[in-house]
Chains A and B, each alone.
Chain A
Amino acid sequence: GNSVTQMEGPVTLSEEAFLTINCTYTATGYPSLFWYVQYPGEGLQLLLKATKADDKGSNKGFEATYRKETTSFHLEKGSVQVSDSAVYFCALSGRGSYIPTFGRGTSLIVHP
């Protein structure tokens, strides 16, 4: 079946540091890949997505590239801000499925 593995948190960084949160997946066929973000006290929000190999999703300075050869979709940001502190979830949706499979989430804490 489908599964998503994320690096464990919390990830603690200083403001303006470079961020990488690793995500790898297992799926049959060619899934769509997503990053969701959950800010404190709020619901999950779609941050970015990629639907085919070598696609790069980007939003709010975050990027992730769909790497089929390594079955990865690592999230990166060049310079994090305190306001980026949140929990980040990697997810996939198999072709023809409307239901995403989520990873366990990675907490990011950014200090001033």
Chain B
Amino acid sequence: GAGVSQTPSNKVTEKGKYVELRCDPISGHTALYWYRQSLGQGPEFLIYFQGTGAADDSGLPNDRFFAVRPEGSVSTLKIQRTERGDSAVYLCASSLTPSGGSYNEQFFGPGTRLTVL
């Protein structure tokens, strides 16, 4: 079946603009995660959805970042008033419902490379 897909694959924008990044998880996966990966670094957690609700948004760096998942499937990460420091690869992952403190394997998309000029 299809894996996690992310669009666009590349996004170039100007400082101060608004951007939306989209993630289509694997069908049937109730959990969805956003990460940010800066050059030479590992992925850094941003937000985790269980169904339609954000179960953990502690990784969002500030209030310019927001994410939604209105129907419990596709998710959109929204960044307002972009800054050059927001340039990174934004990764999305999905998994089955984690339960009982156990870890369910996360399946990652290829990422969206955001460049803020």
Partners in one complex: yes
Instruction: Show the binding face of A for B, using Cβ within 8 Å.
Output: 4, 32, 41-46, 49, 51, 89, 91, 93, 95-96, 98-105
Contact, CB under 8 Å: B103 / A43 = no
- The distance in angstroms between the C-alpha atoms of A99 and B93, with both chains bound, is 11
Residues of A within 8 A of B48 (CB): 98-99
Q: B42 contacts A102, CB within 8 Å? A: yes
Main secondary structure of the interface of B (DSSP, over half): loop
Q: List 21 A-B contacts (CB under 8 A).
A: A41-B110, A43-B3, A43-B111, A44-B43, A44-B93, A51-B103, A89-B42, A91-B42, A96-B101, A98-B104, A99-B59, A100-B103, A100-B106, A101-B45, A103-B42, A104-B40, A104-B41, A104-B42, A105-B40, A105-B41, A105-B42
* CB-based contact A43/B91 at 8 Å: yes
Query: A45 contacts which chain B residues (CB < 8 A)?
Result: 108
List residues of chain A with CB within 8 A of the CB of B98.
Answer: 98
Interface residues on B, range: 20 to 34
Give the interface of B toward A (CB within 8 A). Answer: 3-4, 31, 33, 40-45, 48, 56, 59, 91, 93, 95, 98, 101, 103-111
* Cβ distance B97 to chain A, nearest Cβ, rounded Å: 10
B31 and A98 within 8 A (CB): yes
User: Which listed residue (B42, B44, B103) contacts A98, Cβ 8 A?
Assistant: B103
* Other A-B pairs, 12, CB within 8 Å; known A46-B105, A105-B41: A41-B110, A43-B108, A43-B109, A44-B93, A44-B108, A98-B95, A98-B104, A99-B33, A103-B42, A104-B42, A105-B40, A105-B42
Chain B residues within 8 Å of A96, by CB:
101
CA distance A43 to B4 in the complex (A): 9
CB distance from A52 to the nearest CB of B (A): 12
B-side contacts of A91, CB under 8 Å: 42
